[in-house]
Amino acid sequence: MSDKELPRGSGGVPQEMTIDELSRAAGTTVRNVRVYQDRGLLPPPERRGRIGLYGPDHLRRLRLVLRMLGRGYPLAAIRELVEAWEEQRDLASVLGLEEAITAPYQAEGPRRLTAARFRELLGGDEVAAARAVETGLANLDGDDVVIPNPRFFDVGLELLAEGFPPRAMVEVAANIAGAMDDVARMCVSFVNEHVWRAFEAAGMPAADAERVAAVIQRMRPRAQAAADAALAEAMEKHTDEVFTRTAERLASKSRQRRKPSA
């Protein structure tokens, strides 16, 4: 059964996935999925004959594990946290909070390219390709390059098509990503301070889990809308500044041309 033929739930996530499809959706490898499952970090799949099928709950848990690994947690510590989480809460509240916290903002998962294709897309510029990896815009996985944010990467390719040099495009993309990381950190800290801390201090009661999950989910579109509105205002301001400076330079040159010679 192909990915297109699988029944899909909310967000376009298939309701049933093979281990290959699960690993691709999460941006990891089949080998890693098996390791996490053997260590008790992922529940076993539903068996249908000799095929194991995974669902959206597996994908949410896998994404949570990968994010914690990315923050430096060892597998043993992640397992302890997951077990402690599940011991204190009923399954419905666990899955609801996991979905709110780990549901992806991006509709498209990571994109995998050959190293040669990646360099080709960057105009064959080895320095730009290396810098993209160094800044986290791309990640190496064996002989392949994984693009964690394909939509962001595609915007960069559009800039290249406009004639911007690859190295300049990579640098501005890295700067934008850094600025957005700061904005995201502020938004998450805001929710943590005013919603999550009180929930955690109360023992994360299941009765409040649905409300907290809903607040977190609603923060996503609100944060994006706020960032878009602020960016639009800032772009207008700085574009006006460039236009004004250009007009002043042109006016100055015009005055110089009109000056009578001594």
Angstrom distance (rounded) from CA 243 to CA 245 = 6
Which has more confidence, 138 or 14?
138
Domain count, the chain: 3
Compute the Cα dihedral for 28, 78, 198, 96 and give only its sign: positive
Check whether 143 has a pLDDT greater than 60: yes
Check whether 70 has a pLDDT greater than 60: yes
The domain that holds 24 is classified in CATH as 1.10.1660.10
Q: Residues 95, 10: one domain?
A: yes
Q: Residues 12, 98: one domain?
A: yes
Angstrom distance (rounded) from CA 174 to CA 168 = 10
Check whether 132 has a pLDDT greater than 90: yes
Check whether 244 has a pLDDT greater than 80: no
Average pLDDT over residues 120-134: 95
Angstrom distance (rounded) from CA 156 to CA 150 = 10
Average pLDDT of the chain, as a whole number: 83
Please compute Rg for the chain using Cα positions.
24
Q: Residues 192, 225: one domain?
A: no
Check whether 248 has a pLDDT greater than 60: yes
Kind of pairing, strands 111-114 and 144-147? antiparallel
Q: What percent of the chain has pLDDT over 70?
A: 84
Which has more confidence, 157 or 27?
157
pLDDT-derived band at 7 (thresholds 50, 70, 90) equals very low
Q: Residues 168, 257: one domain?
A: no
Which has more confidence, 112 or 260?
112
Q: Residues 50, 131: one domain?
A: no
pLDDT-derived band at 64 (thresholds 50, 70, 90) equals confident
Check whether 54 has a pLDDT greater than 50: yes
Q: Residues 158, 241: one domain?
A: no
pLDDT-derived band at 57 (thresholds 50, 70, 90) equals confident
Q: Rank 42-51, 131-140, 227-236 by mean pLDDT and report only the highest.
A: 131-140
48 phi/psi in degrees, rounded to 5: -130, 90
Q: Residues 187, 212: one domain?
A: no
Q: Residues 25, 9: one domain?
A: yes
- Residue where a domain terminates, one of 197, 224, 245: 197
Which has more confidence, 261 or 207?
207
- Whole-structure pTM value: 0.60
- Residue where a domain terminates, one of 155, 178, 197: 197
pLDDT-derived band at 4 (thresholds 50, 70, 90) equals very low
Give the type of residue at 17: M
Tell me the residue range of the domain where 243 lies.
205-262
Q: 208: exposed, middle or buried (C-beta count within 10 Å: 0-12, 13-18, 19+)?
A: middle
- Residue where a domain terminates, one of 102, 136, 167: 102
Q: Residues 19, 70: one domain?
A: yes
Average pLDDT over residues 2-19: 58
Q: What is the pLDDT of residues 165-212, one digit of tens each?
A: 999 999 999 999 999 999 989 998 999 899 988 988 887 777 787 788
Q: Residues 92, 143: one domain?
A: no
pLDDT-derived band at 2 (thresholds 50, 70, 90) equals very low
